[in-house]
Amino acid sequence: MVISMYAPNVKVIDVGRKPLDDYVFDAIISFREGVNDIIIKGRGDGISRAVDLYWRLKDRLGDSIELVNVEIGSERFKGRKRSYIAIHVRRRY
């Protein structure tokens, strides 16, 4: 897991099968509660959804967030390689 690499006020959102707006809501609440950085993580088919989530969040929050970094990686999962994406977003105000 990557979580431990990040500071306490960094939140990792793992994009799974819930409706995207659930994750958008989760992110907005987190920013309001004082989180500065969010890592949107998507694995396998979830990679496309992670990018969609980023843009949905960007549409909602506009210039109050900035894109810090986009990382693509590969990890072992159940004996197979699986790609992931980690989209690092920061609150600007």
Closest CB to a second copy among residues 32, 81: 81
B/e letters for 57-91, b = 16+ CB within 10 Å, e = fewer, are beeebeeebeeeeeeeeeeeeeeeeeebbbbbbeb
Closest CB to a second copy among residues 61, 85: 85
For the CB of residue 29, give the shortest distance to a second copy in the complex, in Å. 23
Positions that interact with a second copy (CB under 8 A): 42, 44-48, 51-52, 54-55, 58, 67, 70-72, 74, 81, 83-85, 87
**42, 82 contact by CB (below 8 A):** no
For the CB of residue 43, give the shortest distance to a second copy in the complex, in Å. 9
Distance from C-alpha of 11 to C-alpha of 27, rounded to nearest angstrom: 8
Closest CB to a second copy among residues 10, 82: 82
